[in-house]
Amino acid sequence: MKNYMSMAKESAEYLKSKIGKTPLVSIVLGSGLGNLAKSISDKREIYYEQIPNFPKTTVPGHDGMLIYGELCGRSVIAMKGRFHYYEGWNMQEVVFPLRVFKLLGINNLILTNAAGAVNTGFKPGDLMLITDHIGFFAENPLRGPNMDEFGPRFPDMTRVYDRNLIELALMCAKNLNCEIKQGVYGYTKGPSFETPAEIKALRAFGADAVGMSTVPEAIAARHMGMRILGISCMTNMAAGVTDKPLTHEEVIETGKMVEKKFEALIIETIKNWT
Ligand code: HPA
């Protein structure tokens, strides 16, 4: 079995030699948010393939880089391109970058994603602060020998998403006059979209949104004691809410329409980060 801890340490050593001070906040940029990187100043781009042991993205040169720099005077590191389970990565690979971030000394994490709206009171284009998640359907990224240096064997998941960060983001949304929802994110493995029956089941479980990322990363980050803010962009109504079949194009299109609002919220939140 690969020793992911020593691999992550090697990656962190490499990154330490490339970046200056420890970033205050790490950000995982979900589909359609890649342009946020343009707002980062004094930036340094580090392709995943340059970093020892980092999983290598399948599309060369595309959406596979860390961007380190300043956002509103706060030092940040952003992941442009994440590793999804549906692409064939194992869960250790999916959460690997977060472990490297923690080893760099970073304790703050913003997870963003595109999601389907399960809550019929939501509409495409809505942003949702994640208050909790349902991860029954994910293989747990903590399976296997526990990494004691990071956290306990049986970590508490009572409050995965930091209450103070949710309050901060709510205040920032208000500053921007941006309407914002709150709710529970339900994870599915993908890559097929859900069936209407699966969406009904998720709704009965209490999910407000559904997506194919974020939960494994949140579990690993919480295990390591990181403070997490999760934000979903509703790119479509989930399967069966309308008669329309779901397409990836719709996800991308809505993502583009909402991008500016989403970016503004993240920037405002980082500006006011406490
Ligand atoms: N389901 C799962 N993942 C998604 C969806 C969806 O409807 N929309 C965007 N990501």
The DSSP code sequence of the chain is ---HHHHHHHHHHHHHHH--SPPSEEEEE-TT-GGGGGG-EEEEEEEGGGSTTPPPPSSTTSS-EEEEEEETTEEEEEEES---GGGT--HHHHHHHHHHHHHTT--EEEEEEEEEE-STT--TT-EEEEEEEE-TTSPPTT-SS--TTT--SS---TT-B-HHHHHHHHHHHHHTT---EEEEEEE---SSPPPHHHHHHHHHHT-SEEESSSHHHHHHHHHTT-EEEEEEEEEEEPTTTSSSPP-HHHHHHHHHHHHHHHHHHHHHHHHT--
pLDDT-derived band at 61 (thresholds 50, 70, 90) equals very low
**The residue type at 271:** K
- 110 pLDDT higher than 70: yes
| Lowest pLDDT segment from 104-113, 149-158, 190-199, 247-256 | 247-256
- 10 pLDDT higher than 90: yes
Q: What is the 3-state secondary structure (H, E, C) of 27-96?
A: EEECCCCHHHHHHCEEEEEEEHHHCCCCCCCCCCCCCCEEEEEEECCEEEEEEECCCCHHHCCCHHHHHH
- Pocket of ligand 1, candidates 82, 192, 202, 210: which has the most ligand atoms within 8 Å of its Cβ, to mutate? 210
Distance 97 CA to ligand 1 centre (A): 23
Mean pLDDT of all residues in the chain? 94
Peptide bond into 155 cis (omega under 30): no
- 58 pLDDT higher than 80: no
Condensed to tens digits (0 to 9), the pLDDT of residues 228-264 reads: 999 999 999 999 999 889 999 888 888 888 999 999 9
- 217 pLDDT higher than 70: yes
Output the residue whose Cα is nearest ligand 1's atom 9.
Answer: 115
* The overall pTM is greater than 0.85: yes
- 62 pLDDT higher than 60: no
Distance 194 CA to ligand 1 centre (A): 8
Closest atom of ligand 1 to 236 CA is: 8
Tokens, residue 150? 């990071």
